[in-house]
Amino acid sequence: MNALDQSIHDFLSYDPVTGSLTWLRNRAGKALAGTTAGYLHATADGGRYIRLKFRGKNFFAHRVAWFLTHGEDRADIDHRDRDGTNNRLSNLRIATRSQQAANRRGFGRFAKGVYRTRHGTFTAHICIDHQKVYLGTFQTEAEAAAAYALRAEEAFGEFASLS
> What pLDDT is recorded for position 157?
84
The residue-averaged pLDDT of 108-134 equals: 87
Higher-pLDDT residue of 162, 62: 62
Measured CA to CA, the distance from residue 65 to residue 159 in angstroms comes to: 21
Q: Is residue 26 scored above 70 in pLDDT?
A: yes
> What pLDDT is recorded for position 100?
82
- 99-to-19, 55, 66, 125 alpha-carbon distances in Å: 22, 32, 18, 16
Q: Is residue 2 scored above 70 in pLDDT?
A: no
> What pLDDT is recorded for position 90?
96
Domains of the chain, earliest start first: 6-93 (3.90.75.20), 98-159 (3.30.730.10)
